[in-house]
Amino acid sequence: MANLIEVENLSRYYGKYCVVNNISFTLAKGEVVGFLGPNGAGKTTTMQMLSGNLAPSSGLIKINGFDLLNAPLKAKRSLGYLPDIPSLYKDLTVQEFLHYCAQLQGITKQAIYPIIDKTVERCSLQTVSKRLIANLSKGFQQRVGIAQAILHNPEVIILDEPTVGLDPIQIKEIRALIKELGKDHGIILSTHILPEVQETCSHVQIINNGKIILNESIFELNRTMTQGCLQVITRTPVDNTILLAIPYVTRIEEIAHNRHNIHYSMKGNPTHQIAETIIAKGWGLEEMTPIKKSMEDIFLALTQVES
């Protein structure tokens, strides 16, 4: 399968300060990649370079096979972009604005109105299509921003915080739209809403200090989140040295008096041996509960280690 985005050794400096440090990744058709990072990690700078709004200091970006630096017009024809603050002409109606955007994209006169109608329907803008954008709620303005990004049916869609300002029903609808678009396009979704990545994306990338520190499928990430930690409550104190000697046990974290989280490698499951050891040593096993890691746990652990 051909990659819709190819990023190789991409870096961006401001003076001597390196904001994005030699990152590489790809995006294929049918993939929805959640792009995460704490403030100042280099996420927004990367998004700006991918969209052609900021030149890299070094490295290569290809959009649908075209070099973004050497053939920008050809590359950008395959790109739809929603910035974190949509650029909207608020003195136009939704219909007028989308008509203007369609002309900018070079859509033929015969095709403009059918395409606008389809896009308005996909983004649930039918009831406000003739209203001034200035008079719309923030949620509807966000939908207009998404509509302009997908109007020309681009192969690659970059969405920066697409559900900001939306109510729960609108968020659900936009997530469904992103999933639908992801079947026939490649999508990069930047968001601070971690559950949104789990519900919407097929892959996740985390950037911190200018480097990509995680590039994983959601399937593998979910598998990781359901394994690897037991919360153990005992009647008397345990000897951590003995428990750490059990194969695959990697770390013991004291939560409270006689309450511990026992972390273990994914290569094995030492649950039975931990229980047998606690009972044999007479520490009084009162409770043993598997702990499911959340996306937030993984995000914080990775970014704090790298900081």
Distances (CA, A) of 291 to 249, 272, 285: 15, 16, 17
> Between vectors from CA 101 to CA 193 and to CA 197, what angle results, nearest 5°?
15
Pick the closest to residue 208 from 91, 93, 72, 307 (CA basis): 307
Burial of residue 186, with CB atoms counted within 10 A of its CB: 0-12 exposed, 13-18 middle, 19 or more buried = buried
Domain-wise residue ranges, the chain: 3-216, 227-291
Rounded to whole angstroms, how far apart are CA atoms 207 and 184?
A: 26
Class of domain 3-216: alpha beta
- Output b/e per residue, 149-174; b: 16+ Cβ within 10 A: bbbbbbbbbbbbbbbbebeeebbebb
DSSP letter at 249? Answer: E
Q: Residue-wise pLDDT tens for the chain (307 aa)? A: 579 999 999 999 999 999 999 999 999 999 999 999 888 889 889 999 999 999 999 999 999 999 999 999 999 999 999 988 888 999 999 999 999 999 999 999 999 999 999 999 988 899 999 999 999 988 899 889 999 999 999 999 999 888 877 788 888 888 888 888 898 899 999 887 887 888 899 999 999 999 999 898 988 777 666 667 899 999 999 999 999 999 999 889 898 999 999 988 877 889 999 999 999 999 999 999 988 777 777 777 677 655 5
Rounded to whole angstroms, how far apart are CA atoms 79 and 84?
A: 16
Rounded to whole angstroms, how far apart are CA atoms 102 and 271?
A: 60
CATH number for region 227-291: 3.30.70.100
Rounded to whole angstroms, how far apart are CA atoms 260 and 27?
A: 41
Residue range 86-140, pLDDT digits in tens: 889 999 999 999 999 999 999 999 999 999 999 999 888 999 999 999 999 888 9
Report whether 231 contacts 255 (CB < 8 A): yes
User: For the chain, what is the radius of gyration of the CA atoms?
Assistant: 24
How do strand 156-160 and strand 285-290 relate by DSSP bridges? unpaired
Is-above-0.85 flag for pTM?
A: no
